[in-house]
Amino acid sequence: MECNRKLLLALTFGFFAIIHLVQAQPDQQGFISLDCGLPPGESPYTDPVTGLTYSSDEDFIQSGKRGESGDSLTIYKQYKDLRYFPDGIRNCYNLTVNNGINYLIRAGFSYGNYDGLNVNPKFDLHVGPNMWIAVDLEYENDREIIYMTKSNLLQICLVKTGSTIPMISTLELRPLRNDSYMTQLGPLKLIYRRAYTGTYGGFIRYPDDVFDRKWLRYNWFETNVNTTLNVTSTNPFLVPDAVSRSGTSPKNATTPLSFYMINDDDSDKVNVYFHFAEIQALNANDTREFDILLEGNIIQRGYSPKVLQSETKYNLSPQKCGAGICILKFVRTQRSTLPPLINAIETFKVLDFVYAETNPNDVAAMKNIQANYGLNIISWQGDPCVPELLKWEDLKCSYTNKSTPPRIISLDLSSRGLKGVITPAFQNLTELQKLDLSNNSLTGGVPEFLASMKSLSIINLNWNDLTGPLPKSFNDKEKSGIKLTVQGNPRLCTDASCKTSNQKYVLPVVASAASVLIVVAVLILILVFRKRRRPTQVDSLSTVQHELPSRPPLFTQTKRFTYSEVVAFTDNFERVLGEGGFGVVYHGSLNGTQPVAVKLLSQSSVQGYKEFKAEVELLLRVHHVNLVSLVGYCDEESHLALLYEYAPNGDLRQHLSGERGGSPLKWSSRLKIVVETAQGLEYLHTGCQPPMVHRDVKTTNILLDEHFQAKLADFGLSRSFSIGGETHVSTAVAGTPGYLDPEYYRTNRLNEKSDVYSFGIVLLEIITSRPVIQQTREKPHIAAWVGYMLTKGDIENIVDPRLNRDYDPTSLWKVLEIAMSCVNPTSDKRPNMSQVTNKLKGCLTLDNSRRGGRQDMGSRSSVEMSTSFSTEVTPKAR
């Protein structure tokens, strides 16, 4: 019997030794270990500290430059090199992985002042199209996430968000067991991973940990417990023996053992993994039993750790924590003779990856097109369609909702230097509606598959070197919905007789011979007309913009005036009202009775022509009582002018600054004006199709008519969003300093929340009557100054003293609250204009109630005000 017991004991220890050996000598199977910036000639190498094999990242990314960190303190070789990304907004690593596997993904950074600027970089990290984390290298240098892959391609992207340049030192992927960490409810972003060893500093990692998790040696300053015996781990987590041999227990055996976890936001949800093993020798009558609590919720009641065997407990549902702090607690039960004991803790934030990746067939097609033509477009990295702010240049996508994969519906590869035949990969874009391959060097015939693509309706093949007959399928009447243009392909035969034509033509697929003749005749007339015209500045601008040599009229609607009529309206430009970047603004009068303001484009203003065109296009199609009305325009050769309604009471800024003289506007008047302005902006954002962003909301662009009704003006910088569900555009930054959305300034990503920010500045102006930028005060920018005053509790000095407390305090403070929410630096945290408008209307109702329903228009009646001021002053040109 004794021999059997000894044999069983020997076999047991032998089994434990084998398990430990497997853990101690893993084979790195499935590991991806990249030393970013490592010269290919030095790859691969074995890290002397960990024994891990690292390779250069050269084959996994198409952009970036190599650098060397000046950090001499790191012990890991892979932190010596780095890759930085001075070009483009999004730069992505492309990694081949196994689909449906949990991966630990770790990005490491060692800035080391490699660029000599001594400014810690700040940027975002994305997994595919979804935000992983905002990186600030002033703090810890590693970022880690556990993520289940959705395909065999994994993209890790660095996204520029400010003035600093993204960089990375190492990128590591470690496959985990799918039955361990719960990623079904969302990826897990590591908050901390601690092994309670009684010491602080340094990591337990590979080769002790077969998954190469980095366990921080931690001292909780309670009672340290440890053993020299081996601790086994047979559950899916495979906690290393080096972690499980130590633990911590409360100094006071009767009190709970508590830990804390600080979250970034109150709305964060967390998963916590508690790792236990009984490593103390217990007497026969000893019992260790305790309840495991997370934020007051019991994870497990009456738990007893197993002797020399690691076990893991965790919350099955993500947990929110009050006030951004999670309390983890182990409470001894009444029957327990020993205090709680824990060996290690891992805490994670559960992320919400909202974006579905672009349809994989579309992605594969775009990759094939990119490879076939050798396209090296810096923005063509990461997911083609999402996030929408970062979608690839030259394509448009359809968006049903965030959880439905987007589809590519338009591709514009005009003037991209394409050579060779039209690749069959295009036909794999099955939802494509528009394809532009013009101005390239494509050869061969027009492929028949283009005619069979069910969604494709517009095909532009102009100015290539295509040859041969046009496939008969394009002449099929059933294909009458397709429009094919093939101008500038002299060796391409398109008519029934298939004779070579050297003419330049634009040919709809089902065009009749008569329509072809009409097109040719129109082109001849344009050429003749051009020869008779004298060249102008606008002509040269049009040529640069690849328009026809003779610019046709911009608009065919009514309200168009000749230049001679404009001269007459303004009495030969006698009265100058203002001057800006667009040109000079003059006073005019239609029929001697209707006053107008006339903006005349300066001959030297190249940008002004674009603004002029944008403003006329917008005002011709929008109509709202709180938007300035277009009276007419002039587009005659080099003479461009815009005529809009005259505002006899000037702009809001003039009244806030006292420039117009008289008594200052009362609070009720200011509130009514901003409510009306908000209504105009709300109309642009929600009432227009497609939606519009003004881009230059400011008090000088809020005009006041004879009844002091607000009219939002100056639409030269306005931009519309494309159809198809897009909610933003990427564009060069434009606007007025002080009013400019800082997020838009950093990222070039424009959406309606940029107008919300500018409107928030307007709200702060009506409350304070102070300049938006004033270098002499504590905080030069008005938003920062108001925030600073609020933190000091100095609310009284924020309000314009000229209001003489003649306002409903609740109304004013609510407006201040709205203003501060509008100027939040993060656009996602700002309200939209519909929400702002509704809240401001409530404030106006409060103020009117205080006044018994009266709506004051200022210190005088609206009639007095409209007659007391000269009509000389009008809105200034920008």
| C-alpha torsion angle, residues 811, 814, 820, 821 (rounded to 10) | -140
Residue 817, Cα to own-chain centre: how many angstroms? 25
CB 331 within 8 A of CB 293: yes
Question: Closest Cα partner for 80 from 174, 171, 170, 164?
Answer: 170
CB 641 within 8 A of CB 598: yes
Q: Are strands 434-436 and 458-460 parallel, antiparallel or unpaired?
A: parallel
Interatomic CA distance for residues 847 and 842, integer angstroms:
9
**Which residue do the tokens 């609740």 mark?**
810
Q: Which residues contact 681 (CB under 8 A, 6 or more apart)?
A: 694, 697, 712, 755, 759, 833, 837
554 DSSP 8-state letter: S
Q: Are strands 246-249 and 223-226 parallel, antiparallel or unpaired?
A: antiparallel
Q: Which residues pair with 319 in a beta bridge?
A: 270
Other beta carbons within 10 angstroms of residue 593's beta carbon come to 6
Active site residue 696: yes
Interatomic CA distance for residues 135 and 320, integer angstroms:
23
Interatomic CA distance for residues 633 and 610, integer angstroms:
14
Q: Which residues pair with 54 in a beta bridge?
A: 45
Question: Closest Cα partner for 112 from 68, 170, 70?
Answer: 70
Residue 434, marked binder: no
Amino acid at 355: Y
Interatomic CA distance for residues 419 and 437, integer angstroms:
11
**Which residue do the tokens 């009844």 mark?**
707
What DSSP letter does each residue of 459-482 carry, written as one string? EE--SS---EEPPGGGG-GGGTT-
Q: Which residues contact 656 (CB under 8 A, 6 or more apart)?
A: 664, 665, 670, 699, 765, 766, 769
Interatomic CA distance for residues 516 and 518, integer angstroms:
5
Element (H or E) spanning 121, and its range? Answer: none
- Which phi and psi angles does 674 have, rounded to 5°? -75, -30
Q: Which residues contact 368 (CB under 8 A, 6 or more apart)?
A: 423, 425, 428
Interatomic CA distance for residues 125 and 128, integer angstroms:
9
Burial class (CB in 10 A: 0-12, 13-18, 19+), 698: buried
Half-sphere exposure of 694 (CA within 13 A, CB side): 31
Say which of 81, 208, 291, 696 is annotated catalytic: 696
Interatomic CA distance for residues 355 and 358, integer angstroms:
9
List the structure tokens of 417: 């230097």
List the structure tokens of 642: 């815009």
List the structure tokens of 660: 């117009």
List the structure tokens of 864: 């007095």
Q: Are strands 729-730 and 749-750 parallel, antiparallel or unpaired?
A: antiparallel
Binding-site positions for ATP read 599
Binding-site positions read 599
Active-site residue list: 696
